[in-house]
Amino acid sequence: MSRILVYGLLFCVVALALLPILWGLSTALKTKGEVVTYPPRWVPRPPTLRNFAAVLRETSMPRYFANSLLIGLCTVGVTLLVAAHAGYALARFTFPGKQVLAFGILATAMIPGISVLVPLYALASKVKLYDGYSILVIVCSAWQVPTTMWLLKGFFEAVPRELDESALIDGCSRWSAFYRVILPLSRPGLAAAALLTFIFVWNDFLIAFTLTVSNSRRVIAVGLYQYISQYGIEWGELMAAVVLALLPVMALFLALQRHFISGLTAGAMKG
């Protein structure tokens, strides 16, 4: 294929990928009047940060950001803790029923979220966790653990067995062999798992939408949704909030994309 054609087409695809996001950014930087000029203008003249200031000062968005961050970090912690131990057990031990358990856990990842939302709601109200942070962390973790476990199992299996055996001979216990030898060597896998889990929580709408109700528990995605239904749409401010919500994940992605790709492809090739 001729070089020029390849580059030309790639530029078109890049434009397609970026323009919608740039349009959002451009809108966020416009004044109220410029947002509604027609024909639409791509470069704000002059750009203003007023929308961002309004979002940060006059709305509850900062609170929602903090909530998302808190739930995201907790979920990453719980998911990694649970999934790493399970993955290690699958990678290194033999015990009766192992195959059944492994596939049983993985199979739960096949249950569509929408099918269990109603029962989860009922369950959450019954155990009095409805509208709390903990239920979000628990549900998000439960949905992430199966695939994360599988991902980490792959990384643990890639560590040569001789390494933990020699650690055992050197007097390490099983636990410390795991913590001191295998985990550090699987850091890329842990990073990939942590990133995918965090993004999952940050981007989740459904779990939070159905399992929380009060303003103080609201996460960023639900906050954005309420924003359009509550105030009538102020596009400049809405896009400023969108840009703020997009920034952290985009920064993570740009900085650490190698881990993302390896995590995604490893997760998908599981079958």
Partner 1 sequence: MLPAVVLAAGISLYPILYAIYLSLFRTRYLEKVAFVGLGNYRQLWADPAAWQNLIHSLQYVFGSLAVVLPFGLGVAILLNQRIRYRSIFRTLVVLPWVVSQTILALLWGWLLNPDFGPAMYLLQVLGAGKFSPLSDVRFALPTMIGVNAWGSYPMAVILLLAALQTIPGELVEASRVDGASRWQYFLRIMLPLIRPTLMVTTIMLSLLYFNMVTLVLILTGGGPSQTTEVLSLRALKEGFDFWRVGYAATLGIVIFVFNIIFSLLYLRLLREEGVR
CB of residue 103 to partner 1, shortest distance in Å: 11
Q: Given the rule CB under 8 A, which of 43-51, 59-67, 112-120, 159-167 is the region that contacts partner 1?
A: 112-120
Q: Which two tokens stand for residue 167?
A: 């650690």
Angle of helix 187-203 relative to helix 61-92, nearest 10 degrees, comes to: 140
Give the one residue of 56, 117, 172, 191 binding partner 1; rule: CB under 8 A. 117
Give the one residue of 20, 33, 46, 96 binding partner 1; rule: CB under 8 A. 20
Among 51, 55, 105, 53, residue whose Cα is nearest residue 79: 105
Interface with partner 1 includes 175 (CB under 8 A)? no
Interface with partner 1 includes 191 (CB under 8 A)? no
For partner 1 (CB under 8 A), the number of binding residues is 87
x/- binding map, residues 118-157, to partner 1, per CB under 8 A? Answer: xxxxxx-x------------xx-xxx-xx--x--------
Instruction: Name which of 70 and 249 has its Cβ closer to partner 1.
Output: 249
Asked whether the CA dihedral 242, 244, 248, 253 is positive or negative, the reply is positive
Q: Which of residues 208-267 bind partner 1 (CB under 8 A)?
A: 210, 221, 224-225, 228, 235, 238-239, 242, 245-246, 249-250, 252-254, 257, 261, 264-265
Cis status of the peptide bond prior to 40, with omega within 30 of 0: no
> How far, CA to CA in Å, does 149 sit from each of 98, 129, 185?
14, 26, 16
**Residues near 14 by Cβ (< 8 Å), separated by ≥ 6?**
none
Instruction: Name which of 23 and 166 has its Cβ closer to partner 1.
Output: 23
Q: Which amino acid, one-letter code, is at 184?
A: P
Q: Which of residues 75-104 bind partner 1 (CB under 8 A)?
A: 81-83, 85-86, 89-90, 101, 104
CA distance 226 to 185: 44
